[in-house]
Homo-oligomer: A and B are copies of this chain.
Amino acid sequence: MDKEQLKENFAKALKQEKLKRTPQRFAILEELVSSDEHRECTDIYFALRNQGISVSRATVYRTMDMLVKYDFARRLDIGDGIARYESKVGVSHHDHLICLECGKIIEFLNRDIEVLQQSICNDFDFDMTRHTHQIFGVCPDCKSK
């Protein structure tokens, strides 16, 4: 999806929710989508500030919530008390290997696990909304150090 198409889709989502089109909201979306990193709100906040874009922390937090709700972003909690967000735009589903030494996050996807996961939900008569599957350990780089 190109940038203009993305902005259009975002505008549609805003309209649908009766939210106004503000420069801050577009800037936050663009900043998130511009990298495939797992970004903290503070990180996004400073990145925009450094670009001379006027934005507050509150607006970043509020907008991230909205981006998650409308599926432009995914929130990642790795248990250190800091929420991270990754773009879902043009990105297929995956889960995460997290290195306890260096903090690196590696993405993985396993179709069989996804299928088994759904069958567990069926067994429990549980309606899955989302899931997190995180494997913590030591990455190859850190092992060889």
Contacts and interface: CB of A to CB of B under 8 A. Distances in A.
B106 A124 contact: yes
How many copies of this chain?
2
Interface residues of A, number: 35
Contacts of A81: 81
Nearest to A141: B125
Interface SS majority for chain A: strand
A61 to B, nearest CB: 13
14 contacts: A75-B79, A97-B126, A100-B129, A106-B124, A113-B116, A116-B116, A120-B135, A124-B139, A127-B137, A129-B136, A129-B137, A129-B138, A132-B136, A133-B134
A89 to B, nearest CB: 22
- Best-buried of A100, A106, A128, A137 by chain B (most CB within 10 Å): A137
A110 interface: yes
Interface of A: 75, 77, 79, 81, 83, 97, 99-100, 106, 108, 110, 112-113, 116-117, 120-121, 124-140, 143
Given A75-B79, A135-B120, A135-B121, A140 B113 contact: no
A137 to B, nearest CB: 4
Contact of A132 (B127, B129, B134): B134
Nearest to A76: B79
A64 to B, nearest CB: 14
